[in-house]
A and B are shown apart, each in its own frame.
Chain A
């Protein structure tokens, strides 16, 4: 701009940093500034000057209590298995898992066309959960089919111990963990869901796997560490 022709290069840098800190720049220019911030120390100093001075205005942002659901979502996102990253979080992945299951089922049906009864291997999943945990190498995929009332748990990784057992638990928000029995880490598990669990079972139900003594927790309350956990979600 002609009326700014007296602005020196250094001033220009300072202005650009100020415009970035103020936030008036369009997206592409914000990106450009970020690239420079990475490589240019004197430009960073300008940025520091402006962000420091203007932060005195921060006091004008009025405190407003955030609704409780935000914290639950943050916790779920960071600390439960289902939402730990792009891979587990990807609905496309779950759709393709389900589509794969359907394709297998379709082949099974085709092969068994002459069979008089419906093929028991048809498993149309409606809910899915990825069970994982930070610092644990045990993981399962859980698929639930409401018409059969069964939960199919397929181990993806994890060691099967001879002196310990994995136990599966269902947890509704705020409720106690209810045992769904002992499961294997080296074979597919078709777990029937007991009535008292089925009543509330659905999207949002948390599934957890703990490592218990042989035969599972004797008290009906989990005693071992959680080695995998995740929330059921609709496909």
Chain B
């Protein structure tokens, strides 16, 4: 990442105060990352560009929903980009009011995600995914990173849809156990 977490958080806060220069800086520092997200999930360059545009419009309009100390700021931006891309992918118009941007407002209190970008946290999820069968871990990654639906996952892994669903849900239960241990 080209910018420190604190700097990104600061830029988002200034966007909430309608500082256009901060918005420009935020874009120049984070757009490559978010374009990586929309491009990977939508797999179509022009749709990904369109989505990126919508994502930053949303960020400008909802910058006040970001609460420092909740998500890491870059995770928040990635979540906005992922959710928008997934909505486009699931062939529906994104909601005008995006609940994903408001979540941290509702729940103050301890936030383990704060440290989510730490390498320790990264090693942890890698370790927990590593405890799953390879193809099940691949399914989790494929859903998160590539936006695969249950149908697509079933097709890719050549199993019936219900089997895929059971697999993934069981894997998620194991993952949860491991991540909370």
Enumerate chain A interface residues (CB-CB to B < 8 A).
1, 3-4, 7, 11, 14-15, 18-19, 21-27, 30-31, 34, 37-38, 41, 44-45, 47-49, 51-67, 69-71, 73-74, 77-79
Residue in B60, B71, B143 with the greatest tally of chain A CB atoms within 10 Å: B143
A21-B134 Cα distance, complex, nearest whole Å: 21
Chain A residues whose C-beta falls within 8 Å of the C-beta of B33 in the assembled complex: 61, 63
The yes or no answer to B159 lying at the interface (CB within 8 A) is no
5 other A-B residue contacts (CB within 8 Å) besides A4-B169, A53-B116, A62-B36 = A7-B169, A31-B95, A51-B71, A61-B37, A65-B35
Contact B36 A64 (CB under 8 A): yes
A73-B103 Cα distance, complex, nearest whole Å: 29
Chain B residues whose C-beta falls within 8 Å of the C-beta of A24 in the assembled complex: 143, 148-150, 153, 168
Contact B52 A26 (CB under 8 A): no
The yes or no answer to B141 lying at the interface (CB within 8 A) is yes
Give the contacts of B156-181 with A (CB-CB under 8 A): 162, 165-166, 168-170, 172-173, 175-176, 179
Chain A residues whose C-beta falls within 8 Å of the C-beta of B126 in the assembled complex: 56
Contact B144 A48 (CB under 8 A): no
Contact B116 A15 (CB under 8 A): no
Report 30 cross-chain contacts, Cβ distance below 8 Å, ordered by A residue.
A4-B170, A19-B168, A22-B172, A23-B89, A23-B147, A27-B87, A37-B99, A38-B99, A41-B106, A45-B107, A51-B79, A53-B116, A53-B179, A54-B125, A54-B144, A55-B75, A55-B117, A59-B117, A60-B141, A61-B40, A62-B40, A63-B32, A64-B32, A64-B35, A64-B36, A64-B39, A65-B31, A66-B35, A70-B49, A71-B27
Using known A-B contacts A63-B36, A70-B52, determine if residue A57 contacts B144 with beta carbons closer than 8 Å. yes
CB distance from A28 to the nearest CB of B (A): 9
Chain B residues whose C-beta falls within 8 Å of the C-beta of A60 in the assembled complex: 141, 145
Chain B residues whose C-beta falls within 8 Å of the C-beta of A56 in the assembled complex: 116-117, 121-122, 124-126
Contact A53 B57 (CB under 8 A): no
CB distance from B155 to the nearest CB of A (A): 13
Residue in A41, A58, A59 with the greatest tally of chain B CB atoms within 10 Å: A58
Contact A77 B57 (CB under 8 A): yes
Chain A residues whose C-beta falls within 8 Å of the C-beta of B136 in the assembled complex: none
When each residue 27-58 of chain B gets 1 if its CB lies under 8 Å from chain A and 0 otherwise, what string results?
Answer: 10001110111011000000001001100110
Chain B residues whose C-beta falls within 8 Å of the C-beta of A49 in the assembled complex: 112, 176, 179
Instruction: Determine the residue in chain A with the shortest Cβ distance to B172.
Output: A18
A51-B141 Cα distance, complex, nearest whole Å: 13
Q: Which one, A41, A48, A66, contacts B111 given CB within 8 A?
A: A48
A11-B110 Cα distance, complex, nearest whole Å: 21
The yes or no answer to B9 lying at the interface (CB within 8 A) is no
Q: Which one, B82, B124, B179, contacts A23 given CB within 8 A?
A: B82
Instruction: Determine the residue in chain B with the shortest Cβ distance to A21.
Output: B144
Using known A-B contacts A15-B169, A24-B168, determine if residue A67 contacts B99 with beta carbons closer than 8 Å. no
Contact A66 B103 (CB under 8 A): no
Chain A residues whose C-beta falls within 8 Å of the C-beta of B35 in the assembled complex: 63-66, 70
